[in-house]
Amino acid sequence: MQVLIVKTSSMGDILHTLPALSDAMQAIPGIRFDWVVEEGFRQIPTWHPAVDRVIPVAIRRWRKNWFGRATRQQRGDFKRTVQQRSYDVVIDAQGLIKSAALITSLAKGCKHGQGCKSAREPFASWFYNHRHEISKQQHAVERTRQLFAKSLGYDQPGSYGDYAIAGRFLSQPPADAGQYLVFLHATTRDDKHWPEQNWRELIKLAANSGLRIKLPWGAEHERLRALRLAEGFAHVEVLPQLSLQQVAEVLAGAKSVVSVDTGLSHLAAALNKSNITLFGPTDPGLIGGYGQNQYACLPLAGNKMADISAQQVYGLLQQQ
């Protein structure tokens, strides 16, 4: 069976889709997947053993100049690539109008997605041949596992979901594996940031552990934040800019991870790394870390990120 997945973004959502592929592999021998994903995340699907082909899409970039000549050419190339194969099943796991109208509708095959009561944008369900109602009162990983089970006609396993990527990275750990912590300090929403003062206090406390601390970053403003956090601390290393593959390798070797609510936190969960995720305004029950050794750290009083103290986080770190 050949299946096309439409799940374009974000990083956490893409990672949350992986256990559904593992379920399908167990239920349907020989099943193979192609996957349409935003170009910036194209590495992630390649890590799963059931994925044959990754088809990058650039809607985020194209919409800046949708009718420009170069964009029109790239959109045409993308359409031809998607239509090279006919699929037994097409699963739109994104549930948005843009994914349904601009991608899923192009594909050749029987189209499945969430019904109007389940999809994030109800109108998206109009583009599917089969619509499945999926309870919203469960973790995002379980919602996607249920969608795949209904779309492909098997019973959803009762066991915990398996990302099936940890072995890829843990089999070849870095030379300093287990000798450092990773602090994931960067996120896109201001209300998900932990104050720099709190990070520096935690870094100071962690000096007593004898472990080094590694700070990854993606954009320039994140690099500058990492430099401010590391200033004056000999046990802190600001990493160079890394690919997702390289970040995964660093995470795989960490003794523990401390993170804000960000895509890389979900990558740590997918690698089964001990991970303390700091939550303020978001609900960890529905979108928090899904995996082994995942710990949600919430404010003891109040609901702002600043209400989480460095001592509170360090206490959890000492228990890992």
Mean pLDDT, 10 residues at a time, the chain of 320 residues:
97 97 98 98 98 97 95 97 98 96 97 96 97 95 98 97 95 93 94 96 95 97 98 98 97 98 96 95 85 92 90 94
Q: How far apart are CA 75 and CA 62, in angstroms?
A: 8
Q: How far apart are CA 31 and CA 153, in angstroms?
A: 13
Computed over its alpha carbons, how large is the radius of gyration of the chain?
Answer: 20
Please indicate, yes or no, whether residues 103 and 183 belong to a single structural domain of this protein: no
Give the other-Cβ count within 10 Å of 163's Cβ. 25
Please indicate, yes or no, whether residues 284 and 198 belong to a single structural domain of this protein: yes
Position 301 scores a pLDDT of: 81
Q: How far apart are CA 156 and CA 142, in angstroms?
A: 9
Q: How far apart are CA 204 and CA 230, in angstroms?
A: 10
Q: How far apart are CA 284 and CA 297, in angstroms?
A: 9
Q: What CATH number does the domain containing 251 carry?
A: 3.40.50.2000
pTM higher than the cut 0.85: yes
State both tokens at 70.
């170069």
State both tokens at 91.
């699963």
Position 246 scores a pLDDT of: 96
Note the pLDDT tens digit of each residue in 182-203. 999 999 888 899 999 999 999 9
Position 55 scores a pLDDT of: 98
Give the residue from 141, 164, 187 where a domain finishes: 164
Please indicate, yes or no, whether residues 192 and 302 belong to a single structural domain of this protein: yes
Q: How far apart are CA 71 and CA 80, in angstroms?
A: 14
Please indicate, yes or no, whether residues 118 and 197 belong to a single structural domain of this protein: no
Q: Which residues contact 68 (CB under 8 A, 6 or more apart)?
A: none
If one counts the domains in the chain, the total is: 2
Strand 275-278 vs strand 294-297: parallel, antiparallel, or unpaired?
A: parallel
Please indicate, yes or no, whether residues 184 and 312 belong to a single structural domain of this protein: yes
Please indicate, yes or no, whether residues 153 and 203 belong to a single structural domain of this protein: no
Position 287 scores a pLDDT of: 86
Give the residue from 116, 149, 164 where a domain finishes: 164
Please indicate, yes or no, whether residues 274 and 249 belong to a single structural domain of this protein: yes
Please indicate, yes or no, whether residues 19 and 108 belong to a single structural domain of this protein: yes
Q: Which residues partner with 276 through β-bridges?
A: 258, 295
Sheet with strand 275-278: strands edge to edge: 236-238, 212-215, 180-184, 256-260, 275-278, 294-297
Judge contact between 110 and 91, C-beta under 8 A: no
Q: How far apart are CA 133 and CA 151, in angstroms?
A: 11
The DSSP H or E segment spanning 155 is none
Q: How far apart are CA 204 and CA 198, in angstroms?
A: 10
The residue range of the domain holding 23 is 2-164
State both tokens at 43.
């590495």
Please indicate, yes or no, whether residues 19 and 152 belong to a single structural domain of this protein: yes
Q: How far apart are CA 243 and CA 9, in angstroms?
A: 17
Q: How far apart are CA 80 and CA 18, in angstroms?
A: 26
Position 171 scores a pLDDT of: 87
